[in-house]
Amino acid sequence: MDALETLRQQLPSEAKDLKLNLQSVLTGGSLDEETRWGVALASALTTRQPALIDAVRQDASVSDEVRSDAEAAAALMGMNNVYYRFRHFVSEAGSPDYELPARLRMNRMARPNDKRSFELFCLAASAITGCELCVTSHEKVVRAAGLTAEQIHDAVRIAATLHGIAIALDSGGAS
Catalytic residue among 131, 147, 152, 166: 131
Rounded (to 5) percent helix, strand, coil in the chain: 75, 0, 25
Nearest by Cα to 14 from 168, 170, 175 = 168
Catalytic site includes residue 131? yes
Distance CA 158, CA 150 (A): 12
Q: End-to-end distance of the chain based on CA atoms, in angstroms? A: 19
Distance CA 96, CA 98 (A): 6
Catalytic residue among 120, 127, 134, 147: 134
Catalytic residue numbers read: 131, 134
